[in-house]
Amino acid sequence: MRLSRYFLPVLKETPSEAQIVSHRLMLRAGMIKQASAGIYSWLPLGLKVLQNIERIVHEEQAKAGHIPVLMPTLQSADLWRESGRYDDYGDEMLRLSDRHGRDMLYGPTNEEQITDIFRSHINSYKDLPLTLYQIQWKFRDEVRPRFGVMRGREFLMKDGYNFDLTKEDALHAYNRHLVAYLRTYERMGLQAIPMRADGGPVGGDYTHEFLVLAETGESEVFYDSAVTELSFGDREIDFDNVEQCASVLEEFTSRYARTDETHDEALFNEVPEERRATARGIEVGQIFYFGTKYSESMGATVVNADQKHVPVHMGSHGIGVSRLLGAIIEASHDDKGIIWPEGVTPFHVGIVNLKQGDEAADAACEALYKSVSALGLEPLYDDRKERAGGKFATMDLIGLPWRITVGPRGLKNGVVELTSRRTGESEELTPELAAARLAEIYAQH
Ligand code: ATP
Ligand code: MG
């Protein structure tokens, strides 16, 4: 993409309505535009990152054997009356009616709708296990939408639902989700710590929230600092292997790590004092086993091997896809702007032409643009007639992890400069070597 032809409405001024750094930077970098309270338009740069996050989620769900579907945002109230949640859900549910006076709602979540799909098509235990998921917009009429996309009213969520014959099978599905989520967040450059969460009205011990530590997080968290040393890495996982998935869960959840909702002071005090940590965290996902709550109320049963009709065991598993942009920026920025992790960056490299109009510099930039694109990478070429300082400031603000600077002086020696946004370190290289370096870097992401 050439910046002269792109739509990147960066702001010079810091927007006064934004209280936290990720919200400020998303507005300043021209990624989002508020449409009304807690509702945003996604501008090109923001949309690119959102789609990168979606892609990572899809890829990791596919590895776990989970199957994508897409359900509508508008749902019929009748389904929710069956489960009893139409009355229970409260003011966060946006209720509306169509021209025939039928009660509808904008889905805040989809347990009812997916259970309806399941019961319409699945009758036998032989069709289990099954996990379906979607990435779809949700609406929750939050009392206090704030912090930009972090707590929106309309927001994008990955929501997945497992259907299993037994509790044991459903707990394997739970573990599978935990494993898939660990890798998902790591690919986005995040450490998201699974923490024991509150089962809410449904109860039960089987729920974990994934938290990214950040000062601006809305949850207070208490943990054994040893959990921050765990990393999933690129280990091979067989998602059908029950023991293997269970042992990953054990490894990542056996140490004390809880939010204020489930915090237990006495248990926490058993952690050696020097490892007892408290901080704030952003909830970027949650996994949940809830048994037969919906399958019983909505009649989602299968015939088992003894020819008996039994309700299926279910769980639901969410990732805050749009919230993740805020969480990533909170975890990765400096005073100049965003620093995107390679896995989600909107463009792989920024090309800055120090002297637009200089024949040699223009030609070198064009050649680099072609060679980088030919590697399957997407460059953003700042081809505007602007001062170098302004070009650098824009690149720093929008946070591309790598920048190639091209100027007449370097070109006389046959070199360009490759700079890391994260460390600020630069290397002088021939244009060919610079492109090769990028290929090497991105091969790992
Ligand atoms: P919270 O406690 O933050 O209100 P929740 O526990 O109600 O969230 P879930 O139902 O678990 O949310 O939804 C799954 C994920 O969706 C959450 O982990 C979070 O990352 C994201 N999410 C929930 N509410 C919002 C919101 N209002 N705006 C953006 N993302 C959200
Ligand atoms: Mg939650």
**Of 120, 65, 158, residue with least CA distance to 300:** 120
Q: Which tokens is 227 given?
A: 């959990």
Q: What is the CA radius of gyration of the chain?
A: 24
Domain definitions of the chain by residue range: 3-337, 347-442
The structure tokens listed for 18 are 């934004």
Please give all residues whose beta carbon lies within 6 A of any atom in ligand 1, as ranges.
109, 140, 142, 151-152, 155, 157, 283-286, 318, 320, 322-323
CB-CB contact of 206 with 288 (8 Å) = yes
Helices then strands, counting H and E runs in the chain, come out as 14, 23
What residue owns the CA closest to ligand 1's atom 16? 320
The per-residue DSSP string of 179-219 comes to HHHHHHHHHTT--EEEEE---GGG--S-EEEEEEE-TT-SE
Are the CB atoms for 383 and 354 separated by under 8 Å? no
Find the 155 Cα to ligand 2 centroid distance in Å.
14
Nearest ligand for residue 261 CA: 1
User: Which ligand 1 atom is at minimum distance from the Cα of 319?
Assistant: 15
Domain 347-442 listed as CATH 3.40.50.720: no
* Cα(101) to centroid(ligand 2), Å: 33
Architecture of domain 3-337: 2-Layer Sandwich (3.30)
pLDDT digit string (tens) for the chain, length 445 residues: 999 999 999 998 888 889 999 999 999 999 999 999 999 999 999 999 999 999 999 999 999 999 999 999 999 999 999 999 999 999 999 999 999 999 999 999 999 999 999 999 999 999 999 999 999 999 999 999 999 999 999 999 999 999 999 999 999 999 999 999 999 999 999 999 999 988 766 556 699 999 999 999 999 999 999 999 999 999 999 999 999 999 999 999 999 999 999 999 999 999 999 999 999 999 999 999 999 999 999 999 999 999 999 999 999 999 999 999 999 999 999 999 999 999 999 999 999 999 999 999 999 999 999 999 999 999 999 999 999 999 999 999 999 999 999 999 999 999 999 999 999 999 999 999 999 999 999 998 8
**Nearest CA to 151 among 326, 318, 333?**
326
Q: From ligand 1's centre to the CA of 28, what distance in Å?
A: 25
Among all bound ligands, the one having the nearest atom to the CA of 284 is 1
User: Rounded to the nearest whole angstrom, what is the distance from the C-alpha of residue 221 to the centroid of ligand 2?
Assistant: 14
Q: Report which residue type is found at 21.
A: V
- In sequence order, what are the residues at sequence separation of 6 or more whose Cβ sits closer than 8 angstroms to the Cβ of residue 51? none
